[in-house]
Amino acid sequence: MYFPRKDVKIISNIKNHVMKLPFAEPYKTKMVEKIYRSNRSEREIWIKEASFNLFNLRSEQVFIDLLTDSGTGAMSDNQWSSIMSGDESYAGSSSYYNLKEAIDDITGFPYFLPTHQGRAAENVLFSVIVKEGDVVPGNAHFDTTKGHIEYRKATAIDCTVDSATDLLSGDPFKGNVDTVKLEKVLKSNPLDSIPCILLTATNNTVGGQPVSMENIKEVSDLAKKYGVRLIIDSARFAENAYFIKTREKGYKDKDIRDIAREMFSYADAMTMSSKKDAIVNIGGFIAFREEELFHKATTYNIMYEGFITYGGLSGRDMNALATGLYEGTDFSYLESRIRQVEYLGTMMKGYGVPVLEPFGGHAVFIDAKRFLPGLPPEEFPAQTLAVELYIEGGVRGVEIGALMADRDPVTRKNRYPVLEMVRLAVPRRVYSDKHMDYVAAATASVYERRDRIDSGLRIISEAPIMRHFTVVLGRA
């Protein structure tokens, strides 16, 4: 079966049409990396040796790696050349100032601290603002964000809109914060126990779904009304800006960078994993509007990350990041990136595979509950499906479900989230549409034999927090 893109129309009688050319990637390939295509029996042995945990596989054992879009993008020739001019001075390097200028330009925040990646930014910032007993409302906090909050004996409260868990709702902004739920949290807790509202855009946990500008404004108004800071987890801010441009009224003719600056104008600070939308292999930062908060965070940054003008990054990393912030906010790049994800989603849907819609910005999410309806939640249907997909085609995705949701920190009972999904995250500028065809076909093959997958997996041993990374599993 072949499912052509809807936007590609072969025009037979050109004379009678004004040819509308399809989009195409605004880059070409200068260097390639060989990947090994293994066979099924090799993979059956390897996944058993990896204790059915896809994080334990060696990358050579994976044909198409959709584990994450984080740090896995291909840097451009411009980024590589900016690496060559990195300034490795301990203090005051020119690379730091290059990055400062880029952050100021793209986000509008006047203060920033470099960190080695996104979770380090969370660690530094939360060291200043989050204390035991606090509550941090937000829209489905990412797992490391939640981990940093819970580690400090505080609580992350999810206030995402209900449509986020309705896999068939066509809501274009399923990442939004439900402002009624949010206001309830703001009203029912002492304000000095709410260090911030944490808004994640796009929202990874509910399927790479965007947050509308209108919603960011409403959340910001509530934050101001109650005197609480608004912080944006900005790992995929450029993809969010793309969705605002293409889906929200009034933004069609605006530039991605203007949209991004407007998003940030409503916030007091941001954390950034630059491994996503800044297309670098490592890097992160925190940016602030308040000078005082910046100064307080500086002490922790020096302790955990490094001096303020490098914070866990080398000069060359900072240079590549400064260049990447511009490349990641280029419309034609974003269009080709997000539409490649859409292409994969459309193919899978064509094969009948149950997928989350609208498709996310960075990934296609398969609904494991509908894919494997016979498996009980205790046998981890999404992890089981991710393992089957690996065995089928050497494609590595990741479970976003009960394994990742971990145990409740107080009751230690397993948490079973409404969404039980396998995420296929597409690295930036790495794979071709042919690779996407292959992934869709491999998934369709598993789908065809789904009735024969009649048992799942069980936990043999697990870590007390963020267990999915290291969990040891066996067949149930």
Identify which of residues 50 and 120 has a Cβ nearer to ligand F0G in the complex.
120
| Shortest Å distance, C-beta 26 to ligand F0G | 25
Which of 23, 90, 416, 469 is catalytic? The answer is 90
| Shortest Å distance, C-beta 145 to ligand F0G | 6
Identify which of residues 98 and 117 has a Cβ nearer to ligand F0G in the complex.
117
Binding site for ligand F0G (CB under 6 A): 68, 70, 117-119, 142, 144-145, 200, 204, 233, 235, 273, 275, 284
Identify which of residues 139 and 340 has a Cβ nearer to ligand F0G in the complex.
139
90 catalytic? Reply is yes
Which of 69, 134, 233, 268 is catalytic? The answer is 233
235 catalytic? Reply is yes
Q: How far is Cα 371 from Cα 394, in angstroms, rounded to an integer? A: 19
Query: What radius of gyration do the chain's Cα atoms show?
Result: 22
Which of 143, 268, 317, 406 is catalytic? The answer is 143
| Shortest Å distance, C-beta 201 to ligand F0G | 9
Q: Tokens 């054992």 correspond to what residue?
A: 61
Q: How far is Cα 419 from Cα 439, in angstroms, rounded to an integer? A: 22
142 catalytic? Reply is yes
**DSSP sequence for 350-403:** HTT--B-SSPPSSEEEEEHHHHSTTS-GGG-HHHHHHHHHHHHHSEE-EEESHH
The total number of residues shown for the chain amounts to 476
- Are residues 213 and 177 in contact, defined by beta-carbon separation less than 8 angstroms? no
Which of 156, 201, 235, 320 is catalytic? The answer is 235
Identify which of residues 93 and 204 has a Cβ nearer to ligand F0G in the complex.
204
- Are residues 406 and 471 in contact, defined by beta-carbon separation less than 8 angstroms? no
Question: Of 109, 110, 103, 200, whose CA–CA distance to 160 is shortest?
Answer: 200
- Express the helix, strand and coil content of the chain in percent, nearest 5 each: 45, 15, 45
210, amino acid identity? P
| Shortest Å distance, C-beta 53 to ligand F0G | 15
Identify which of residues 235 and 348 has a Cβ nearer to ligand F0G in the complex.
235
Residues 6+ apart with CB under 8 A from 297: 113, 124, 125, 127, 128, 286, 288
Identify which of residues 121 and 182 has a Cβ nearer to ligand F0G in the complex.
121
143 catalytic? Reply is yes
Question: Of 323, 334, 332, 328, whose CA–CA distance to 78 is shortest?
Answer: 323
| Shortest Å distance, C-beta 151 to ligand F0G | 14
Q: How far is Cα 187 from Cα 430, in angstroms, rounded to an integer? A: 46
| Shortest Å distance, C-beta 375 to ligand F0G | 24
Work out the burial of residue 310: count CB atoms within 10 Å of its CB; fewer than 13 is exposed, 13-18 middle, 19 or more buried: buried
Question: Of 462, 329, 309, whose CA–CA distance to 383 is shortest?
Answer: 462
Which of 52, 142, 242, 438 is catalytic? The answer is 142
Q: How far is Cα 261 from Cα 243, in angstroms, rounded to an integer? A: 15
| Shortest Å distance, C-beta 368 to ligand F0G | 17
Identify which of residues 123 and 384 has a Cβ nearer to ligand F0G in the complex.
123
Identify which of residues 273 and 329 has a Cβ nearer to ligand F0G in the complex.
273
Closest residue to ligand F0G, Cβ-based? 118
Q: How far is Cα 163 from Cα 334, in angstroms, rounded to an integer? A: 25
Which of 100, 141, 276, 435 is catalytic? The answer is 276
- Are residues 279 and 429 in contact, defined by beta-carbon separation less than 8 angstroms? yes
276 catalytic? Reply is yes
Beta bridge partners of 288: 111, 269
| CA 46 to centroid of chain Cα atoms | 27
Q: How far is Cα 357 from Cα 344, in angstroms, rounded to an integer? A: 12
| Shortest Å distance, C-beta 450 to ligand F0G | 26
| Shortest Å distance, C-beta 231 to ligand F0G | 11
Structure tokens at 253: 């003719």
Q: How far is Cα 141 from Cα 164, in angstroms, rounded to an integer? A: 13
Identify which of residues 98 and 273 has a Cβ nearer to ligand F0G in the complex.
273
Write out the catalytic residue numbers.
90, 142-143, 233, 235, 276, 468
